Amino acid sequence: NAGVTQTPKFRILKIGQSMTLQCTQDMNHNYMYWYRQDPGMGLKLIYYSVGAGITDKGEVPNGYNVSRSTTEDFPLRLELAAPSQTSVYFCASRDREPNSPLHFGNGTRLTVT
């Protein structure tokens, strides 16, 4: 019953450092998403993917990159970390059936100082 697994759970970065947030799902879902959650701001979509080899920008893609080489994995890359990227990051996936629910990971809490 793994579902959506995110690693790491917590991370502290210095300004200018880079890192990759990992996300993997074992439900064979075509659609995968990265959101960031800031206090009082809800969830903002960073990037999404409708299948292996296909990615698209969401509302707030600047400063991030993604890849989708397999159905299971959807890593999020921060190349030059900035304080504005301090947030909680959630990966989610869902089946291709219309209105199927999103399945979320437990999040990665990132602090950039």
Partner 1 sequence: GDSVTQMEGPVTLSEEAFLTINCTYTATGYPSLFWYVQYPGEGLQLLLKATKADDKGSNKGFEATYRKETTSFHLEKGSVQVSDSAVYFCALSAPNDYKLSFGAGTTVTVRA
Q: Does 41 bind partner 1 (CB under 8 A)?
A: yes
- Partners of 47 in the beta sheet? 34, 57
Pairwise CA distance, residues 44 & 34, whole Å: 9
Q: Does 61 bind partner 1 (CB under 8 A)?
A: no
CA-CA-CA-CA torsion sign (107, 98, 74, 78):
negative
> In the range 1-30, which residues lie near partner 1 by CB under 8 A?
4
- Only one of the segments 17-25, 69-77, 79-87, 102-110 lies at the binding site for partner 1 (rule: CB under 8 A); that segment is 102-110
Q: Which is nearer to partner 1, 14 or 62 (CB)?
A: 62
* Cβ nearer to partner 1, comparing 12 with 50: 50
Is 90 near partner 1 (CB under 8 A)?
A: yes
89 binding partner 1? (CB under 8 A) = no
Q: Minimum CB separation from partner 1 for residue 24, in Å?
A: 14
**Contact between 48 and partner 1 per CB under 8 A:** yes
CA distance 61 to 58: 6
Q: Which amino acid is at 7?
A: T
Considering only CA atoms, which of 76, 101, 110 is closest in space to residue 91? 76
Where does residue 39 rank: exposed (0-12), middle (13-18), buried (19+ CB within 10 A)? Answer: exposed
Q: Which residues bind partner 1 (CB under 8 A)?
A: 4, 31, 33, 35, 40-43, 45, 48, 50, 58, 90, 92, 98-99, 101-102, 104-107
